[in-house]
Amino acid sequence: MLLRSYRKEVIRPECRPEAESLHIIAHLDQDIGEVIPYLNAVLGGFQFIKDPVSVSFKLHGKLIAIHARKICVNALRDEAEGDKIVEWLKQEVNDTWERRAEIKPSFENAPKPKVIE
């Protein structure tokens, strides 16, 4: 198991303090940088950054960013929704790590949409 524990921080968006949505930052107790290219391949990240390594996803209207030492999730209805997403991501990190020998890591961004002429 690569990711065993984290500390959760719940915040309101700084740019819109009146917003009712929440953000969660999971501060990871273990470094998961090595699994990020595999997560990019498995989960289909739309933005991959090589240095420092991170990947971003869009899922059900939420922006999720995975870094070596933190996971950030925005636009949450409540803390319970954030807990479910972070726990799901923890499971994905560990499952992907266990299966990494079967997965070709991806160090690329998703293709950009093309303009229709």
pLDDT for the residue 17: 62
Do the domain assignments include residue 44? yes
pLDDT digits (tens, 9 = 90+) for 29-69: 999 999 999 999 999 888 999 999 999 999 888 999 999 99
CA–CA dist 89, 73 (Å, integer):
10
pTM greater than 0.75:
yes
pLDDT for the residue 116: 72
Do the domain assignments include residue 98? yes
Residues 6+ apart with CB under 8 A from 59: 85
Q: Domain holding 13: CATH number?
A: 3.30.310
Do the domain assignments include residue 116? no
User: Is residue 15 pLDDT above 80, yes or no?
Assistant: no
pLDDT for the residue 60: 84
Determine the structural domain holding residue 92 and report its residue range.
6-102
Count of domains for the chain? 1
Do the domain assignments include residue 67? yes
Do the domain assignments include residue 110? no
